[in-house]
């Protein structure tokens, strides 16, 4: 391949939590064609996990016996692309930063994706989890997606092929595993100044409300039905709760921050503690938003 591969790759320096074990192989494809070639040549029995920039990945300290594909920086293209003749739109590859996509659309005088300014991570991750904030969700504007399968074959699928819910997306007709490598979004014309100001306001709000000065992976748990996860965690006394060098943030209790030298076990132990108490006290299942892989 033309991109980069690293065997027995440590991940602490690659993921936003700045913690975790090594993986069998880390892969950074040069572009989509390079990714196709790599997948086509990969033995069928090898495990594969796709990650954007590592903003929501935790590899347990014992490591992961498989391949982790990083879609940044090789798959970060953003370009104008009308989904149909009646409206403007954009095509973004999976590795494109969600906030950069929001900024790009606003600069073009297009509205519909401003909320992505409040989402850490990439377009691919936003598609997988139907990421959202400020009363909007990623799939609200998706017209179609481009996927890649285990053999490196590309497929364009309409949004109607997918069952979309709160922080979850699945194909109606399950088949061979596929990963999102891009998506087409429909947008609407607006005043550029208005759109760029909205993006700037959301970025400022994110900076005020979230502990961006410490390594974290964004929100830890999905909001339970009819509740806000951060309020529940605060009610249970988890704001500031610490395990080793990891702790729930006091600024935003639904964030776990690395205070310096935290292990993956420190982080996951906090997650499990919160899940167990929420279940015992309130009968609530707290669902983790991050991807956790590997062995203890």
pLDDT tens for 13-65 read 999 999 999 999 999 999 999 999 999 999 999 999 999 989 989 999 999 99
pLDDT tens for 180-235 read 999 999 999 999 999 999 999 999 998 999 999 999 999 999 999 999 999 999 99
**CA pair distance 264, 267, nearest whole angstrom:** 5
Let me know: does 11 contact 27? Beta carbons within 8 Å. no
Token pair listed for 216: 């974290």
Per-residue pLDDT at 175 exceeds 70: yes
- For 132-141, 149-158, 186-195, which range has the lowest pLDDT when averaged over its residues? 132-141
289 is catalytic: yes
The model's pTM is: 0.92
**CA pair distance 254, 131, nearest whole angstrom:** 15
Q: How confident is the model at residue 279 (pLDDT cuts 50, 70, 90)?
A: very high
Per-residue pLDDT at 126 exceeds 80: yes
Q: What is the CATH number of domain 229-293?
A: 3.90.78.10
Neighbours of 46 (CB within 10 A): 12
**CA pair distance 16, 51, nearest whole angstrom:** 12
Mean pLDDT of the region 69-79: 97
Give the residue from 93, 91, 82, 141 showing the smallest Cα distance to 116. 141
Strands 162-165 and 168-171, sheet pairing: antiparallel
Per-residue pLDDT at 85 exceeds 70: no
Let me know: does 11 contact 51? Beta carbons within 8 Å. no
- The domain 78-209 having CATH identifier 3.30.465.10: the answer here is yes
**Marked catalytic residue, from 167, 219, 243, 268:** 167
Distances (CA, A) of 241 to 37, 126, 223, 253, 278: 46, 28, 19, 9, 15
Let me know: does 25 contact 67? Beta carbons within 8 Å. yes
Read off φ and ψ for residue 268, nearest 5 degrees.
-70, -30
Q: Which residue has the higher pLDDT, 207 or 152?
A: 152
Domain spans, the chain: 4-70, 78-209, 229-293
What is the DSSP-derived secondary structure letter of residue 287?
P
- The domain 4-70 having CATH identifier 1.10.1520.10: the answer here is no
- For 81-90, 144-153, 154-163, which range has the lowest pLDDT when averaged over its residues? 81-90
Per-residue pLDDT at 267 exceeds 70: yes
For the chain, how many helices (H) and strands (E)?
Answer: 6, 20
- Asked, colleague to colleague, whether 4-70 and 229-293 share their fold, the answer is no
């Amino acid at each position: 391949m033309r991109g980069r591969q690293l065997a027995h790759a440590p991940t602490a320096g690659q993921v936003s939590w700045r913690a975790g074990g090594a993986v069998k192989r880390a892969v950074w494809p040069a572009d989509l064609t390079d990714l196709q070639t790599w997948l086509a040549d990969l033995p069928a029995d090898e495990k594969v996990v796709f990650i954007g920039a590592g903003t929501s990945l935790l590899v347990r300290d014992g490591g992961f016996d498989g391949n982790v594909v990083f879609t940044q920086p090789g798959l970060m293209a953003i370009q104008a692309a009308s989904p149909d003749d009646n409206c403007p739109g954009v095509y973004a590859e999976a590795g494109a930063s969600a906030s950069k996509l929001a900024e790009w659309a606003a600069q073009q005088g297009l509205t519909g994706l401003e909320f992505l300014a409040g989402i850490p991570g990439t377009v691919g991750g936003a598609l997988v989890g139907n990421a959202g904030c400020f009363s909007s969700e990623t799939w609200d504007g998706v017209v179609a997606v481009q996927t890649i399968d285990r053999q490196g074959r590309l497929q364009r699928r309409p949004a109607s092929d997918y069952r979309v819910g709160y922080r979850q997306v699945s194909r109606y007709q399950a088949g061979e595993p596929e990963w999102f490598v891009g998506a087409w979004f429909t947008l609407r014309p607006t005043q550029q100044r208005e759109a760029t100001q909205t993006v700037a306001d959301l970025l400022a709000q994110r900076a005020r409300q979230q502990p961006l000065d410490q390594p974290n992976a964004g929100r830890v748990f999905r909001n339970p039905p009819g509740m806000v996860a951060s309020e529940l965690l605060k009610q249970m006394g988890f704001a500031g709760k610490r395990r080793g060098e990891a702790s729930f943030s006091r600024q935003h209790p639904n964030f776990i921050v690395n205070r310096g030298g935290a292990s993956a076990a420190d982080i996951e132990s906090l997650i499990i503690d919160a899940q167990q108490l929420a279940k015992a006290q309130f009968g609530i299942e707290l669902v983790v938003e991050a991807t956790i892989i590997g062995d203890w």
